Structure 1
Amino acid sequence: MTTNEDQEMELEALRSIYEGDECFKEISPVSFQFRVGELEDGKSFLVDITWPKTYPESAPEVSLDAFFNNRISTQTKQLIISRLEEQVEANLGTAMMYTLFEWAKENQESLMENHQPAVTAVPLATTINTESKKKEKKEQLTKAQKRRITSRTDNKGELPRGWNWVDVIKVCASSFLH
């Protein structure tokens, strides 16, 4: 089989195995993401794997550069990548994506054992509560301003027709057109 046929067969197998699995995402026919662990789990991580043209004869590119992994230390990322690359070397020349993903799932605890989650986010609930407590102040009008407004309006609180020239121009323009 040629390299492209191997890739096509593995791609079909991955699509059928991980169909409907929210952990697996096909970015392109040669680029994939796989989340190891649950979304809420502080020890979960996202593996990016990209196939070169000569895959599976040559090693795929393994990366943890996704934004999802920003809370993971550089040392932990390097450990995960080096351990995954060991698995790549052991499986070189064969279809290995399923093997890599399953190996990462099985070894998640040992890969993330030295991980210390970084807490940098401010809880959203506290910012929402402080904003909702602030009340908007209405503009305070003086007695003179209030008198001027009421003297300009009729008994319904509406300004008389033509109080500004826009209405006058509209009337003139409409009579000119007819």
Structure 2
Amino acid sequence: MTANEDQEMELEALRSIYEGDECFKEISSVSFQFRIGDREDTKAFILDLTWPEMYPETAPLISLDSFFNNRISAGTKQLILSKLGEQVEANLGTAMMYTLFEWAKENQGALMENHKPVVTAVMSSGDAMSAASAGKKKEKKEQLTKSQKKRIINRTDNKGELPRGWNWADVIKLSRTGGKDDE
């Protein structure tokens, strides 16, 4: 069998095995993502695997560079890649994607044993000030009733602006009332 025939057979097998599995994602016919662990789990990570042209005779390209993995330290990523590299060497020449995914799932605890989530949030000076004032009591905005909101909406046009002259006195009524000298 040629490398392309092996790839086609393995692709069919992966599609049938992981059909409906939210952890498996086929990016292209030679590129895949597999999430190890639940989304909310801090020890979860995503494996990005890409087949080179001569796969399975050559090793697949394994990456942990997806945005989901930003919370994993560089040391932990290096450990995962080295352990997966050992599995790749042991299975070189055979279809190994399923084996790699399942091995990573089974050994997630050992791979993430020394994992401490990395915090990558950058705070601007405005965020720092708001975080410092978070302890202070916030003023509540005045809450309008439903009828008050309806009256405001009925008075405004489609842009949210009050119509021209909304607070003018009715000039016609004033002219009709007249004064005492009009008699």
Question: Does 2:177 correspond to 1:154?
Answer: no
- Residues 120, 133 of structure 1: alpha-carbon distance in 2 compared, 3 angstrom cutoff: farther
Question: Partners in 1 of 2:92 and 2:139 — Cα distance?
Answer: 61
Q: TM-score, normalised by structure 2?
A: 0.68
- Residues 13, 111 of structure 1: alpha-carbon distance in 2 compared, 3 angstrom cutoff: same
Cα RMSD for the two superposed structures: 2.7
> SS of the counterpart of 1:104?
helix
> SS of the counterpart of 1:35?
strand
- Residues 52, 151 of structure 1: alpha-carbon distance in 2 compared, 3 angstrom cutoff: closer
Question: Partners in 1 of 2:89 and 2:79 — Cα distance?
Answer: 15
Instruction: Write the letter of the residue equivalent to 2:91.
Output: N
C-alpha deviations, 1:74-124, integer Å up to 9, x for none?
Answer: 0000000010011001000000000000000000000000100134559xx
1:71 matched residue in structure 2: 71
2:3 matched residue in structure 1: 3
Question: Partners in 2 of 1:29 and 1:8 — Cα distance?
Answer: 9
2:180 matched residue in structure 1: none
1:16 matched residue in structure 2: 16
Question: Partners in 2 of 1:85 and 1:133 — Cα distance?
Answer: 57
Moved over 2 A (4+): 118-122, 132-136, 149-155
Instruction: Write the letter of the residue equivalent to 2:48.
Output: D
Q: TM-score, normalised by structure 1?
A: 0.70
- Residues 89, 134 of structure 1: alpha-carbon distance in 2 compared, 3 angstrom cutoff: same
Question: Does 2:122 correspond to 1:99?
Answer: no
- Residues 71, 5 of structure 1: alpha-carbon distance in 2 compared, 3 angstrom cutoff: same
Question: Partners in 2 of 1:24 and 1:102 — Cα distance?
Answer: 12
C-alpha deviations, 1:47-98, integer Å up to 9, x for none?
Answer: 0000000000000000000000000000000000010011001000000000
2:38 matched residue in structure 1: 38
Question: Does 2:57 correspond to 1:57?
Answer: yes
Task: Give ranges in structure 2 of 5+ residues lacking alignment.
Answer: 123-129, 143-164, 172-183
Question: Partners in 2 of 1:151 and 1:67 — Cα distance?
Answer: 55
Task: Give ranges in structure 1 of 5+ residues lacking alignment.
Answer: 137-148, 156-178
> SS of the counterpart of 1:117?
coil
Number of equivalences: 138
Instruction: Write the letter of the residue equivalent to 2:64.
Output: L
- In the TM superposition, residue 154 of structure 1 has moved relative to its aligned partner by 3.5
The percentage of aligned residue pairs carrying the same residue is: 74
- Residues 46, 154 of structure 1: alpha-carbon distance in 2 compared, 3 angstrom cutoff: same
1:25 matched residue in structure 2: 25
- Residues 154, 104 of structure 1: alpha-carbon distance in 2 compared, 3 angstrom cutoff: same
